[in-house]
Amino acid sequence: MDRLKTLMDWFDVRLGVREILRSNLQGYLLPRHVNIWYSLGAVLLALFTLQFLSGILLLVYYLPAADKAFVSVERIMNAVPYGWLIRTLHMVGSNIIVAVLLLHLLSVLFMGAYKKPRELTWLSGFGLFNLSLILCLTGYLLPWSQLSFWATTVATDAAGAVPWIGEGLVTFLRGSPSVGAGTLGRFFALHVVAFPLLFLGLVGFHLFCVRRAGISVPPFGPSARPAGVGTTFQHEVHRDGIPFFPNYTVKELAVVMFVLAGLVAITVFAPALFLPPDALEPADPFTTPDHIKPEWYFLWAYQTLKIFPSKLMGLAAQGGAMTLLALLPFLDRGEERRPFHRPLFLTLYGLGILLLLGLSIWGHRS
């Protein structure tokens, strides 16, 4: 115990760590009524940590070459002790992350937490959302299964609808006219190095924004406050709030434990849930499987592209919707944050979710 204190003193004298810890843990006060939805950010941090760990472990045995990738994954699943565990956790984890991302985004949206002064938090979060989806997309190719191959073929093909440069863009994305060894090389580099680095930087910025602006007061009950910024920077303090650590972190940890329990449950009891039959056959560039469907979180996009008469219009509609969402804090400048005092927003919010669900179900059925 004494040793620990001496060590702490050593660092404290030089870097003032005690003061950093105090002001960010016990001294960092959250709004008294902060609810369970505020713990989703922590859940995401935990899940991404797990994702990084399992990903690094997979790299020990995975071989990024067109003629070896599938076999190496098969070996991880069958021959390497507990390889199945690492790989299934990584695969199921990615799906759970997307689900939690959606919940985080929707709850932040519902509570109007994107409004000033948190525009940058929202923007960086939205960037993280897109980056996560791209990580899913690039990771999908790596096992070099029929599913990997054809999903990537179709996904990269969509870029061909961009006017003028479409065809060149597709070839550039693929590294060759059609998906092949070259595509695997670049997707591998992106998935395991480039995007994770970008991701870490963006998460850092996101957390910085969250911490600097202070956690928003939940927009319910008498303590709700309108959104706003003054003429100078002001950290949103909550004088009678509860300490972030340990009072709130225990609750966050509880939610993390429940989500992890779900992750393990799927991993051992329903390992095939996110593993369609085509994911079990090695890629064959000359045979397209019969009914390939994207994963559940891309179904809405898939269906949108099918509805519009031209691919370009479909892409533009999606791009438009996503851009609108990204820029929401700059378009919706009202100071009211209480959802039930914002009937227009609430209606659009509900309709938007229904549209997304409807498109996804339609895409799944079609």
Partner 1 sequence: MKRGVLASLTLLLATVMPLTAAYAESTSASGEAAAAETVCLQCHGGQAGRLGAPVSPWRQSIHAKNGISCHDCHGGDPADFAQAMSPERGFLDVPAAAAIADFCGRCHVGVREDYLASAHGRARERGPHCVTCHGSHTVQAATLELINAKDCSRCHEFGRAGQIKEAVAAVDARILAVERDIAAMHRIGFATRELQDELFNLRNAFHRLFHTVDVNKVRKETEDFSRQLDFLDGKIAALHAELQWRQLVGSGVILLLLAAGVLLLLLRKTYADEERGRKEE
Partner 2 sequence: MDTGRQGPSERRLFLLSMLAGVGALLGAIAVWPLYRYLAPQGGGGTTEQVAIPLSDVPLGAARFFDYHGRPAVLVQVQAGEYVALSAVCTHLGCIVKWVGEKRHFLCPCHGGQFAPTGAVLAGPPPQPLASYRVIVQSGKLLVG
Choosing from 265, 351, 354, 361, the residue that interacts with partner 1 (CB under 8 A) is 265
Nearest residue to 216 (alpha-carbon basis) of 334, 113, 125, 124? 113
H or E element at residue 132: helix 119-141
CA distances from 86 to 106, 133, 187, 220 (A): 30, 21, 21, 42
Amino acid (1-letter code) at residue 306: K
Q: Which is nearer to partner 2, 271 or 352 (CB)?
A: 271
Question: Minimum distance between the CB of residue 243 and partner 2, rounded to whole angstroms?
Answer: 14
Helix 311-326 and helix 299-307, axial crossing angle in degrees, nearest 10: 130
Residues that bind partner 2 (CB under 8 A): 57, 60, 80-83, 85-86
Q: Which residues contact 107 (CB under 8 A, 6 or more apart)?
A: 37, 40
Nearer to partner 1, 202 or 207 (CB): 202
Question: Does 331 participate in binding partner 1 (rule CB under 8 A)?
Answer: no
Q: Are the C-beta atoms of 122 and 213 separated by less than 8 Å?
A: no
Q: Does 42 bind ligand HEM (CB under 6 A)?
A: yes
Binding to partner 1 by residue 268, rule CB under 8 A? yes
Beta bridge partners of 242: 30
Question: Would you state the structure tokens that stand for residue 37, as one six-digit string?
Answer: 């939805």
Name the binder of 102 from partner 2, partner 1, ligand HEM, none, CB < 5-8 A by kind.
Answer: none
**Binding-site string for ligand HEM from residue 201 to residue 230, where x marks contact by CB under 6 A and - marks none:** --x--xx--x----xx--------------
User: By CB under 8 A, what part of segment 74-93 binds partner 1?
Assistant: 74, 77-78, 84-85, 88
| Footprint on this chain of ligand HEM (rule: CB under 6 A) | 38, 40-42, 44-45, 48, 101, 104-105, 108, 113-114, 118, 121-122, 125-126, 128-129, 132, 203, 206-207, 210, 215-216
